[in-house]
Chain A
Amino acid sequence: MNSTSGKWGRRRWIVLGIVILFFLCAKSLGLTPAGLIPPDETRWERAGAFFKAALSPAMDYQDENVPEDAPPIWLKGLYGLLLTLKFAFGGMSLAIPLALIMGFFGSSSWWPEPRGRILDLFLRGAFFGFRFLMSLLRSIHELIWALLILSAFGLSPLAGMVALALPFSGTLGKVFSELIDEESRDASTALKAIGHRPLQTFFVAMLPAALPNLITYSFYRFECALRSSAVLGFVGIETIGLYIELSHEEFYYNEVWTYFYLLLALIVLVDFWGAGLRVRLNSFKGGCEA
């Protein structure tokens, strides 16, 4: 009785503390409910225009200076999506091999059991080195990576892909190493008992066992990469985000919504595809889950 009421008491204090912290942060940020309300007439109008445009996405360019022979806006939008996909796909294609290498050294379940001091030191060194590298890579957002890389190497498609690949490889690598280490070691123990080398069991038992989870997770990250790839348009890399940014700057809100809806359609499509893939990959578990 006493212990449960003590637990409740502690929990109440934690909740109270979080609420107080929220109000302190809100106050220091100058946050008031009134802040959401536009301060003057023109802002009101602009907000109204923006949301009204959602009902009538542009079927034609709002910009009168667009040349006659330019492709229709929906085609330009589709092209933007293609570029967005290309960056997401390119970024992930770079990130996955990097993540596999870092995830391999960041996991410990494949370490040989009796091992010499030098090998032990090497493995531990690589373990902590790669874990640190992965945290470093993912602690910096892809937008900041993009700004860093663009300012160093200039605007290029490769720069965009690398900016995406670096933080994504950090996250993927960390999750890969954890997925591999979480797999049951029964199979690799059994195989070592019949003469397999420790590294061999990594490739024939641990990796295959973790593979469905690795693929499912990579696919989920691909969806994230798609959104990030679109956002990279805001720093000048040619994806659909760049078109959104340019139209928005000129207050062509109907065009903005056309691009939004195309992006939404793509993400819904990829999501469905991913859900189908997950069902197929996990069907081996044979459970009753739909």
Chain B
Amino acid sequence: MSSAFELNGVTCRFGDLVAIDEVSLSIEEGEQVAFIGPSGSGKTTLIRLLNTTAVPNDGSLSVLGNAIADQSVESLRVLRSRVGTMPQHLGLVENLTAIQNVILGRGGQRSTLRSIRDLLVPSRGDTEKIHQLLERVGIEEKLFTTVSKLSGGQKQRVAIARALFQEPEILLADEPVSAVDPARARDTVRLLAELSRELGFTLCVSLHHLELAKEFFPRLIGLRHGRVVFDGAPDLLKDQQLESLYELTADEMMTDA
């Protein structure tokens, strides 16, 4: 198996603030990993580094075997089209329909003109495929509904369908469940984990909910002040790094309240 991500002493600073501090880790293709840690610990920054929309100030990072420091603007763009990202705020175009949003998932692999045509007259093949995807995420009746008319949970489904339509080799999701109730959050996380196994893409998710992370992910990476304080299976979490874990859950309870 080859690696999805290789980080070696990666540091990312915003002015004086060190958001990611000399992180070294590697994630293999096909893994399911959850990033956990309190607010401000660097989860979003790590995800932005992994999808190459943020650049390390120090250290080396390679994505799907490509060292990103060596890439041109265009080859980085092509690399990004192979990695799906679900940002925390989903980033849907609210006054377009579900199908129009989902079809944009493949925009990175298509020309600008083709994307405009996709919005105006989607091909029959794409429409069928998107209908199946919406069926898979449970909102097939919303194919032609404007996204602004959907509930928070339904919008999340549209974002997941957009990521699936992209057919990425890796899917990054930043706090995918921060906007919904606990029952729905559990459904969404389970769906992502299932899809990752079913379709074979690597899944990296940042999560505030420690319980959900433990339930669905075989590997947890704990971050604190931009450093990795834990990396391993959930059942090891009890023994290893107990001290920082306690602090972590305390913080988590505060942010959840």
Chain A interfacial positions (CB closer than 8 Å to B): 114, 186-197, 199-200, 203-205, 208-209, 211-212, 284-286
B81: A residues at CB distance < 8 A: 194-195
CA–CA, A197 to B115, complex, Å? Answer: 11
From A187, A193, A204, B115 is in contact (CB under 8 Å) with: A204
C-alpha gap A205/B107 in the complex (Å): 11
A188 to B108 CA separation, bound complex (whole angstroms): 12
20 further A-B contacts with Cβ under 8 Å, apart from A195-B77, A195-B81, A286-B148, are: A186-B90, A189-B53, A191-B107, A192-B80, A193-B51, A193-B80, A193-B91, A194-B166, A195-B82, A195-B107, A195-B109, A196-B104, A197-B112, A203-B112, A204-B93, A204-B115, A205-B104, A208-B119, A212-B95, A284-B149
Report the bound CA distance from A196 to B101 in whole Å: 13
Dominant SS among interface residues on chain A: helix
Residue on B nearest A200 in the bound complex, by CB:
B112
Closest Cβ–Cβ distance, residue B167 to chain A (whole Å)? 11
Please classify how large the interface on chain B is, using the bins under 10, 10 to 19, 20 to 34, 35 or more: 35 or more
In the bound complex, do residue B95 and residue A208 qualify as a contact, i.e. CB atoms below 8 Å apart? Answer: yes
* Binary A-proximity of B68-86 (CB < 8 A = 1, otherwise 0): 0000010001111111110
On chain B, the residues within 8 Å of A199 by CB distance are 112
Question: Smallest Cβ distance from A186 to chain B, in angstroms?
Answer: 5
Residue B146 interfacial (CB < 8 Å): yes
A194 adjacent to B119 (CB under 8 Å): no
Q: Give the complex CA separation of A131 and B148 in angstroms.
A: 33
Assuming the contacts A200-B115, A204-B119, A284-B95, asked whether A193 and B87 have C-beta atoms less than 8 A apart, the reply is yes
Given known A204-B107, A204-B115, A284-B149, contact A195–B80 (CB-CB < 8 A): yes
Q: Are A191 and B149 interface neighbours, CB within 8 A?
A: no
Report chain B residues within 8 Å CB of A208: 93, 95-96, 100, 119
| Smallest CB separation, A94 vs chain B (Å) | 23
Q: Which of B85, B90, B105: most chain A Cβ within 10 A?
A: B85
Q: Does B116 contact A (CB under 8 A)?
A: yes
Selected contact of A284 from candidates B105, B148, B168, CB within 8 Å: B148
Interface contact B148-A190, CB-CB below 8 Å: no
B94 at the interface (CB under 8 A from A): yes
Q: In whole angstroms, what is the CA distance A204 to B90 when docked?
A: 16
Complex Cα distance A68/B115, Å? Answer: 62
24 A-B residue pairs with Cβ-Cβ distance under 8 Å, sorted by A, are A186-B87, A187-B92, A187-B94, A189-B87, A189-B91, A191-B91, A193-B51, A193-B80, A193-B87, A194-B83, A194-B85, A194-B108, A194-B163, A195-B81, A195-B82, A195-B107, A195-B109, A197-B77, A197-B112, A204-B93, A208-B96, A208-B119, A209-B94, A286-B149
The interface centre, meaning the residue of A188, A193, A212 with most chain B CB atoms within 10 A of its CB, is: A193
Would A191 and B104 count as touching, CB distance under 8 A? yes
Within 8 A of A (CB), among B147-176: 148-149, 163, 166, 168
- Asked whether any CB of chain A lies closer than 8 Å to the CB of B89, the reply is yes
Indicate the member of A189, A194, A196, A197 with the most B CB atoms within 10 Å.
A194
Output the nearest chain B residue to A203 by Cβ-Cβ distance: B116
Residues of B within 8 A of A196 (CB): 104, 107-108, 115
CB pair B95–A192 under 8 Å, yes or no, is no
Tell me how far the C-beta of A227 lies from the nearest C-beta in chain B, rounded to whole angstroms: 30
A113 CA to B232 CA in the complex, in Å? 36
Contacts of B100 in A (CB 8 A): 208
When C-beta atoms are compared, the residue in chain B nearest to A202 turns out to be: B112
**Are B80 and A194 in contact, with the CB atoms below 8 A?**
yes
- Shortest beta-carbon distance from B86 to chain A in Å: 8
Contact A209 B115 (CB under 8 A): no
Chain B positions within 8 Å of A186 at CB level: 87, 89-91
CA distance A184 to B163 in the complex (A): 20
